C-alpha cells in the first residue's frame, strides 16, 4: 500500500502548502442562531464536563499543519476547545504514534482489550471487538442523538456505511463515511504534447493507445532524445493517481469491485475475463517502452518526480491529480495539462468504477458511561463546517486544513461536486452570492491564478474550472456512467481469514504478467483465487446479496 499512502500524503502536503496566515481565531460565545441550532439533545452540553479518550495516528503532515497554527497542539487546539466549550467534552489521547508503529500498537491494544473510550477501527477489527464483547451497541444512541443534519450527511452514501457497521442486527460503530464519487477517475494529459504531435484528445481506448505510443516514440518534448513514456504507472497498481483502475475500466474490467453479472449474482471483478484482455494490452505497452521498465520500484512520489521532470505525458487519476501534475507546470511554464473523461474500447460506453469507500468506524468501549458523546462530536464537526453556524475558514480551511485536528472528521460526500456546481452557476450568471464557504474559497484561488498568475491556483482551476475534473464528474453522474460497488456489508468470515492472501496473489500475478509472464498465468490465478477462499467468499457475499432483495 506504499503508493496509496504516499499519494495521499502528497495531496495533504499540497493543501497545506497554500498560502495563508493560519491565525487562531477563537470561536465567539454562542449566538442566538447557535442556541436555536444547538437545541437538539445531540448538541447539549455535559455539566460538569466529561472526558473522552482516543488514540491517534500522527505523522509529519499533522505536525507540519500545527507549525502553521501557532499556539495549538494536538491536545489543545481550536477543535478540542470547541468541543469542551459547546459540548462539555474534554478530548484526551491515551497515546499517539506514527505509521507502522501506530498500527502495531493499535493491534496490540485491540488484542489485549486495552482500548480507549472511543477507538477508530476497520470493519474486520470492529467485528473482532464486537465478538469479544469489548464495545457497546450504538443503534439507539445514534437514533436518539444524531441531529437531522448529521443523519442527512451520513446518509448521502446510502445505507452501505451503516450496514458495514452492523453486526448481527446491531450498530456497533459510527461510520466515518467517505465519498464514493470522489473515487471517480479521469485522464490527465499533456495537452501541449498533443498539440505538438498533431493529436486530438482520446475518444476511445484505441485513441488512447495511439497517443501513448506517440508520446513514447515521437519525441513530444522536442529534445531529440528517446526519453519519454506514454503512461504513468506505480508499483501500487491501484494508486488513486498514476494507477490502472481507469485504464482497466476502458476494457470493462473492474479488478477491485464486486459487480453484478447477467444472472444477478455478485462476482469479483478481478477474476473476470475482461481483466485478462487489459493485462495483455499492458504487457504489450510495457514491452514497447510506453511504461517505465522500473515502475515496480517506484512509488507515487517517485513517479510524480518523473512527471515533474517532463518524462510522462499521461496519467489516470482522481480529481486531485491536478495538484500532482502541477509540478510539471512549475518546472516548465509551457507544460499544459487537461482533464478528460476516461474512455472505453470503440463502440462501447465506459463505466466509471467506484469502490465502496467507507472503511473506518468509531467504536465505544464497553462500560463507558456516555456512548452518545462520540455522536455529539460528529454533530458539532458537521455543524461548524457546513451547518447554520458554520465558520468554515476557522474550523475547516484557514486555508490550512484545520479540520484534521479533530478526532472525528465526517464530511458531506458530495461537498466538492456541490462546490463545483455553485462555481458553475456563478460563472453562468455572474452572481457570486450563490457561492457558499467552500466554493467561495476555491473561487478566490482560481481568480488569483487567472487574474494575477498566482501559481497556487493552477491545480484548483484544473479541478474546478469550467473544463476541469468536476465538470467531467458532473457529466459522469448525469449520464449514468458511475458504476458503484455492489457489496458493502461487513467483511465475511472467509474475507477476514483469506482476503489479504487473495489480494497479494492478485497484485503479484498482475505485475508478473505486465512484466512479461505468459498471459495464461491469469487463468491459473483465477483457479488459485477460487481454491484459496474466493469460492467461499463469493458464496458468502451472495448470501448477503440475496438477503437484501
pLDDT digits (tens, 9 = 90+) for 458-503: 999 999 999 999 999 999 999 999 999 999 988 899 998 999 999 9
Of the candidate ranges 323-327, 454-458, 490-494, the one whose mean pLDDT is the lowest: 490-494
Mean pLDDT, range 418-428, rounded to an integer: 97
Q: How much is the pLDDT for 6?
A: 38
Q: Is the pLDDT of residue 349 over 60?
A: yes
Output the DSSP codes for 132-201: TT-B---HHHHHHHS-HHHHHHHTTT-SHHHHHTEETTEE-SEE----SGGG--EEEEEHHHHHHTT---
In whole numbers, what is the pLDDT of the chain averaged over residues? 92
Q: In what order do the strands lie in the sheet with 118-121?
A: 118-121, 361-364, 174-175
Residue 261: pLDDT band (50, 70, 90) is: very high
Q: What is the pLDDT of residue 24?
A: 36
Between these two residues, 31 and 351, which has the higher pLDDT value?
A: 351
Q: Which residues contact 250 (CB under 8 A, 6 or more apart)?
A: 205, 208, 278, 342, 343, 344, 345, 350
Question: Residues 121-137: pLDDT tens digits?
Answer: 999 899 999 999 999 99
Determine the pLDDT at residue 446: 96
Contact present, 34 and 83 (Cβ < 8 Å): no
Note the pLDDT tens digit of each residue in 96-108. 999 999 999 999 9
Closest listed residue to residue 457, CA positions, set 408, 515, 399: 399
Q: How confident is residue 398, by pLDDT bands cut at 50, 70 and 90?
A: confident
pLDDT reported for residue 35:
57
- Confidence category of residue 8, pLDDT binned at 50, 70, 90: very low
pLDDT in tens, 501-546: 999 999 999 999 999 999 999 999 999 999 999 999 999 999 999 9
Most confident of 167-171, 203-207, 434-438: 203-207
Nine-digit cell at 175? Answer: 461510520
536-547 b/e (C-beta count within 10 Å ≥ 16 → b): bbbebbbebbee
pLDDT at 30 over 60: no
DSSP 302-327: HHHHHHHTT-B-EEEE-TTHHHHHHH
Calpha distance 493→486 (Å, rounded): 18
Q: Are 387 and 381 in contact (CB under 8 A)?
A: no
pLDDT at 437: 87
Beta-bridge partner residues of 121:
361
Q: β-pairing, 361-364 with 118-121?
A: antiparallel
Cα of 305 vs its chain's centroid, Å:
22
Residue 31's pLDDT band (cuts 50, 70, 90): very low
Q: Reduced to 3 DSSP states, what percent helix, strand and coil does the chain have, rounded to the nearest 5?
A: 50, 10, 40
**295 pLDDT above the threshold of 60:** yes
Does residue 417 carry a pLDDT above 90? yes
pLDDT at 7 (0 to 100): 40
The Cα 512–Cα 505 span in angstroms is 11
- 228 to each of 212, 218, 333, 474, how far by Cα in Å? 10, 9, 18, 32
Distance of CA 330 to the CA centre of its chain: 25
User: What are the DSSP E strand ranges found in 177-293?
Assistant: 186-190, 258-260, 266-268
Of 34-38, 63-67, 138-142, 279-283, give the lowest mean pLDDT range: 34-38
The residue with cell 480551511 is 397
Q: Which residue has the higher pLDDT, 9 or 187?
A: 187
- At residue 263, the pLDDT reads 95
DSSP string, 58-125: E-HHHHHHHHTSTT--SSSSHHHHHIIIII-EEEEEEEEEEHHHHHHHHHHHHHHT---SEEEE-HHH
Confidence label for 548 from pLDDT (cuts 50, 70 and 90): confident
For residue 483, which of 356, 293, 376, 333 has the smallest C-alpha distance? 356
Give the pLDDT mean for 383-407: 93
Which pLDDT does position 33 carry in this prediction? 54
Amino acid at each position: 500500500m506504499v503508493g496509496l499512502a504516499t499519494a495521499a500524503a502528497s495531496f495533504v502536503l499540497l493543501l497545506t502548502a497554500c498560502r495563508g496566515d493560519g491565525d487562531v481565531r477563537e470561536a465567539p460565545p454562542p449566538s442566538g442562531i447557535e442556541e436555536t441550532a444547538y437545541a437538539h439533545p445531540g448538541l447539549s452540553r455535559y455539566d460538569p464536563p466529561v472526558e473522552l479518550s482516543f488514540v491517534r495516528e500522527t505523522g509529519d503532515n499533522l505536525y507540519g499543519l500545527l507549525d502553521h497554527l501557532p499556539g495549538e497542539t494536538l491536545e489543545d487546539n481550536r477543535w478540542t476547545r470547541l468541543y469542551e466549550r459547546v459540548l462539555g467534552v474534554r478530548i484526551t489521547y491515551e497515546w499517539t504514534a506514527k505509521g507502522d508503529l501506530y498500527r502495531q500498537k493499535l493491534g496490540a491494544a485491540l488484542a489485549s482489550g486495552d482500548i480507549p473510550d472511543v477507538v477508530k477501527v476497520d470493519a474486520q477489527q470492529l467485528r473482532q471487538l464486537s465478538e469479544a464483547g469489548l464495545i457497546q451497541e450504538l443503534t439507539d444512541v445514534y437514533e436518539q442523538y444524531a441531529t437531522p443534519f448529521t443523519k442527512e450527511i451520513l446518509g448521502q452514501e446510502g445505507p452501505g456505511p451503516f450496514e458495514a457497521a452492523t453486526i448481527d442486527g446491531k450498530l456497533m460503530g459510527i461510520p466515518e463515511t467517505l465519498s464514493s464519487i470522489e473515487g471517480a477517475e479521469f485522464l490527465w494529459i499533456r495537452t501541449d504534447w498533443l498539440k505538438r504531435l498533431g493529436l486530438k484528445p482520446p475518444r476511445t481506448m484505441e485513441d488512447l493507445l495511439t497517443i501513448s505510443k506517440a508520446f513514447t516514440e515521437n519525441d513530444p518534448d522536442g529534445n531529440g532524445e528517446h526519453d519519454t513514456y506514454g503512461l504513468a504507472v506505480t508499483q501500487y497498481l491501484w494508486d488513486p493517481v498514476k494507477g490502472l483502475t481507469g485504464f482497466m475500466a476502458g476494457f470493462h474490467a473492474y479488478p477491485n469491485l464486486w459487480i453484478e453479472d447477467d444472472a444477478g449474482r455478485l462476482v469479483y471483478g478481478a477474476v473476470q475475463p475482461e481483466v485478462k484482455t487489459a493485462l495483455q494490452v499492458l504487457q504489450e505497452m510495457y514491452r514497447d517502452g510506453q511504461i517505465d521498465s522500473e515502475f515496480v520500484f517506484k512509488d507515487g512520489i517517485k513517479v510524480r518526480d518523473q512527471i515533474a521532470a517532463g518524462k510522462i505525458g499521461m496519467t489516470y487519476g482522481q480529481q486531485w491529480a491536478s495538484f500532482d501534475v502541477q509540478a510539471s507546470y512549475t518546472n516548465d511554464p509551457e507544460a499544459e495539462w487537461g482533464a478528460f473523461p476516461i474512455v472505453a474500447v470503440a463502440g462501447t460506453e465506459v463505466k466509471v468504477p467506484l469502490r465502496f469507500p467507507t472503511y473506518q468506524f468509531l467504536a465505544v468501549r464497553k462500560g463507558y458511561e456516555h456512548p452518545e458523546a462520540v455522536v455529539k462530536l460528529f454533530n458539532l464537526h458537521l455543524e461548524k463546517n457546513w451547518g447554520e453556524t458554520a465558520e468554515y475558514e476557522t474550523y475547516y480551511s484557514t486555508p490550512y486544513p484545520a479540520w484534521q485536528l479533530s478526532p472525528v472528521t465526517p464530511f458531506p460526500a458530495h461537498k466538492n461536486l456541490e462546490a463545483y456546481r455553485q462555481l458553475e452557476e456563478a460563472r453562468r450568471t455572474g452572481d457570486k452570492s450563490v457561492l457558499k464557504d467552500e466554493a467561495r474559497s476555491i473561487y478566490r484561488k482560481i481568480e488569483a491564478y487567472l487574474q494575477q498568475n498566482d501559481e497556487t491556483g493552477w491545480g484548483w482551476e484544473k479541478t474546478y474550472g469550467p473544463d476541469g475534473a468536476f465538470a467531467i464528474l458532473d457529466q459522469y453522474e448525469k449520464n449514468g456512467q458511475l458504476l458503484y460497488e455492489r457489496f458493502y456489508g461487513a467483511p465475511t468470515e472467509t474475507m477476514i481469514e483469506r482476503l489479504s492472501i487473495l489480494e497479494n496473489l492478485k497484485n503479484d500475478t498482475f505485475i508478473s504478467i505486465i512484466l512479461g509472464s505468459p498471459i495464461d498465468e491469469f487463468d491459473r490465478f483465477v483457479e488459485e483465487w477460487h481454491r484459496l477462499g474466493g469460492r467461499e467468499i463469493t458464496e458468502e457475499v451472495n448470501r448477503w446479496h440475496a438477503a437484501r432483495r
